[in-house]
Amino acid sequence: MNDITKSTPAFDQSFIAAQNARLADDLARDYEHLGAVLRRRGIDIETITSAVGKFGVAAPSWAAGSGGTRFARFPMAGEPRHIFDKMDDCAVVNRLAGATPAVSLHFPWDETEDPHALRAYAASRGLGFDAVNSNTFQDHPGNARHPLSYKYGSLTHTDPAVRAQAVAHNVRCIELGEALGSKALTVWIGDGANFPGQQHFGKAFERYIESVQAVYAKLPAGWQLFLEHKMYEPAFYATVIQDWGSSLLAAQAVGKNCKCLVDLGHHAPNVNIEMIVSRLIYADKLAGFHFNDSKYGDDDLDAGVIDPYRLFLIFNELVDAERNQGAGFNPAYMLDQSHNVTDPIESLMTSAAEVQRAYAQAMLVDREALAAYQTNNDPLMASQTLKQAFVTDVQPILATARLRKAAAIDPVAVYRASGYRAAVARLRPAKPSGGGGIV
Ligand code: PSV
Ligand code: MN
């Protein structure tokens, strides 16, 4: 196997350092200035930079290739051919942006008969594995483990044999995850109905609980089971786990280590997601996130491109919980995006930084002042307190955190200068454009 990490400068420390050298003086000045601004507000910039440096968000393996819609997929040069190529691309993302030390796999898309070899390959590129995801939302032709169709559902199918097949797949995902060093399984199903009357809501939900309980029974010690809800698509009338209420009911019925995962694109328009986050924290049922952004529905756009304030408000709740609960508060952070028109490596690097930005800004909120404004019913100043944190340009903090871990001050510029995409394009034959392909 051609070792791409040796044949492009994207991984070369001296190349990255030379690129950084051109920006380092300006960055140092900007950082010092920001430090002074924050000091006036009683904030130690080093505390924020150190927390940002420790913050990681997992990269989804399925986002390394070009995404698509129901209408078309436009492949780009050098798309990963298999999970090892995906790991190479994710390694570039982490090497240059320094924020994605783990990868979230999806089975059977990332099927491997030798997870130990994959784990070693990932480790050699400085990567570990986050939650594993099970795919029973499409058929897998030719895969002997999935002879039965999921057209009418998986974990909630009316046929017990299909349910058993879907349960078995989830259990296999856990086994693969164990070999990889993962600690959680995320379950999202597309089960639901396209027509009123198609499905008995109550019975389908009961079948879901029963199936998830069977999966939960196989959960190893120290593992968690994440239930991901989504309002619609592919079921356009009703989805079995369509909202956080259904997800919470199910998680409570299944057990302590079963929690609710919040994908930012999976809500009704204008829903107050930060409030859902607060409620799940209250119930001790917040599993974590699939970060992305959207304008209309489950758009799977890059985190922070449409509504960075919403992302900030979510992190405002998370930082509040972190302050209250300490180290025990540890949600899983993952990206889940579809890169239809950008180079996925560039999108993943910038998205990870957007998530870090929201985290850094949320740490700047003057919580004592906010609490006083809330107590004294001063909505204007309460809102201004949040805004003051949100409008603070934390770019020097993010860039300094990257520099300190020998990543790139400007990841996209270094990536482009490295010629990585052209190098992999020479190695990896183009994939046919095919039909649609929502990820
Ligand atoms: C479904 O839209 C979803 O958000 C789930 O997380 C899936 O696992 C992922 O996208 C990929 O299809
Ligand atoms: Mn998701």
Q: Among candidates 233, 249, 227, 113, which has minimal Cα distance to 170?
A: 227
Residue located nearest, by CA, to atom 6 of ligand 1: 188
Residue located nearest, by CA, to atom 7 of ligand 1: 188
**pLDDT on residue 439:** 53
Neighbours of 50 (CB within 10 A): 14
- DSSP-assigned letter for residue 300: -
Q: Closest ligand 1 atom to the C-alpha of 106?
A: 8
**pLDDT on residue 438:** 53
Residue by residue, pLDDT tens for the chain (439 residues) are 578 889 899 999 999 999 999 999 999 999 999 999 999 999 999 999 999 999 999 999 999 999 999 899 999 999 999 999 999 999 999 999 999 999 999 999 999 989 999 999 999 999 999 999 999 999 999 999 999 999 999 999 999 999 999 999 999 999 999 999 999 999 999 999 999 999 999 999 999 999 999 999 999 999 999 999 999 999 999 999 999 999 999 999 999 999 999 999 999 999 999 999 999 999 999 999 999 999 999 999 999 999 999 999 999 999 999 999 998 999 999 999 999 999 999 999 999 999 999 999 999 999 999 999 999 999 999 999 999 999 999 999 999 999 999 999 999 999 999 999 999 999 998 876 544 455 5
Q: Among candidates 391, 357, 403, 415, which has minimal Cα distance to 27?
A: 403
The token pair that represents 198 in the structure block: 């198609």
* Choice from 86, 240, 290 to test ligand 1 binding pocket (greatest atom count within 8 A of CB): 290
* Choice from 135, 188, 300, 335 to test ligand 1 binding pocket (greatest atom count within 8 A of CB): 188
* Choice from 103, 191, 240, 439 to test ligand 1 binding pocket (greatest atom count within 8 A of CB): 439
Ligand nearest to the CA of 106: 1
Omega within 30 of 0 (cis) for the link into 108: yes
Q: Closest ligand 1 atom to the C-alpha of 439?
A: 12
Q: Among candidates 361, 343, 338, which has minimal Cα distance to 418?
A: 343
Helices 83-97 and 115-124: angle between axes, nearest 10 degrees:
30
Q: Closest ligand 1 atom to the C-alpha of 298?
A: 2
Residue located nearest, by CA, to atom 9 of ligand 1: 439
CA of 99 to the centre of ligand 1 (A): 21
**pLDDT on residue 150:** 98
Alpha helix segments (H runs only) across 41-188: 45-54, 83-97, 115-124, 160-180
CA of 244 to the centre of ligand 2 (A): 13
Neighbours of 388 (CB within 10 A): 16
CA of 75 to the centre of ligand 2 (A): 22
Does the beta carbon of 188 sit less than 6 angstroms from any atom of ligand 1? Answer: yes
Q: pLDDT digit string (tens) for 94-135? A: 999 999 999 999 999 999 989 999 999 999 999 999 999 999
Locate the DSSP E strands across 135-239: 184-187, 192-193, 224-228, 238-239
Q: Whole-model pTM above 0.85?
A: yes
Q: What is the mean pLDDT of the chain?
A: 96
CA of 117 to the centre of ligand 1 (A): 26
**pLDDT on residue 243:** 98
Q: pLDDT digit string (tens) for 189-223? A: 999 999 999 999 999 999 999 999 999 999 999 99
